[in-house]
Copies of this chain bind each other. A is one copy, B any other.
Amino acid sequence: MSDEFYMSLALNEAWKFQGLTYPNPAVGCVILDKFGKILSIAAHQKAGCGHAELNGVALALKKINPNLIFPKNPNEIYNFILENHNNLLKGSKAFVTLEPCSHIGKTPPCAKLLVALKFSEVIIGYKDENKIAKGGAEILKRSNICVKFGVLEDKCKELIEPFLSWQNGNFSFLKLGASLNGVLKGGVITNLESRQMTHKFRSLIDLLVIGGNTVRIDRPRLDTRLINGTKNPDIFIYSKSKNFDKTIPLFEVRDRKILIQSDINLVKNYKFCMFEGGENLIKNLPPFVTHILIFFSEKFINLENLSINLNLKLLFMDKISDNFYGWFKILR
């Protein structure tokens, strides 16, 4: 199969953790052995956990030697691999959506890991322009690893656009839960797994944005109970009037800052923001909201749809139990 095929597998895996890696970029990695057999398909899943390459290498070694028992901390995994790889991955090929890092963060540089394991070739989707992390390809090349750039480059750039945005100050996306025929109302629309994913986002974002009318009518809690979360998001209520019934559950959630503001541009002071509606806010999305995450139930519902004009570009779609969801970019 082509390099594009394997890069697609890496991209798909990475997209599953889009946003969930905040403040890190989503990155995917596929490792083939020297004969071209796929050993692992991995991604960076969460800040503080292993980079895509580390996860990919660990999975690949585990595939070859299922008896290996890895430590849990990524730094320990890194060292464990250096001590126990036994050249099992010598001559392997890695496909990474983003250039392997060259810096010491939670772990030593991924580029040096691939060198130590004697990879023969690294295929990179998008060159890392990040001041701190860039330069991984140089490390690889200096060790005579064959480096190829630009495979599915546009798609690999799309993958890290949220990261580039929050690095630039703000990434804001709208989350929707819809029936297959565009219905957003009438109670809970999507399945538990979809709502749990939303709660994961809530535990990671800097700000949850919601319209004043929705707060008044729906009386939401906007917490992270579905994942037994310990961190609940700060709330931005988009409203001219500061007058709210303080028995609305969201006001009861502890350790939360609540802003009630009519200037939506204040949201841009926060790096990672999720908009959760309602209809008025969706119909007047500010231009800095660049992406939409839609969870679809597999139902048509006998109710009115959300009737607006919006041009989107599908970036990624996946099943989530008996629902599916898609990441879309807003075309303006």
Contact = CB atoms under 8 A, between A and B. Distances in A.
Given A35-B35, A37-B37, A312 B300 contact: yes
Contact of A307 (B181, B308, B310): B181
A306 B38 contact: no
A120 to B, nearest CB: 15
A180 interface: yes
A301 B310 CA distance: 7
A299 B310 contact: yes
Interface string A129-162: 0000000000000000000000000000000000
B309 A302 contact: yes
Contacts of A305: 181-183, 304-305, 307
A76 interface: no
B313 A322 contact: yes
A232 to B, nearest CB: 30
Number of identical protomers: 2
Given A35-B35, A38-B38, A182-B180, A319 B308 contact: no
Contacts of A303: 307
A308 B322 CA distance: 20
A234 to B, nearest CB: 29
A298 interface: yes
Contacts of A41: 1
A181 B178 CA distance: 8
Nearest to A302: B309
Contacts of A180: 182, 294, 310, 312
Interface of A: 1, 5, 32-33, 35-38, 41, 178-183, 294, 298-314, 317, 319, 322, 324, 328
Given A35-B37, A180-B182, A300-B306, 17 more contacts: A1-B38, A33-B36, A36-B37, A180-B294, A180-B310, A181-B181, A183-B305, A298-B313, A300-B308, A301-B307, A303-B307, A304-B304, A304-B305, A304-B307, A305-B307, A317-B317, A317-B324
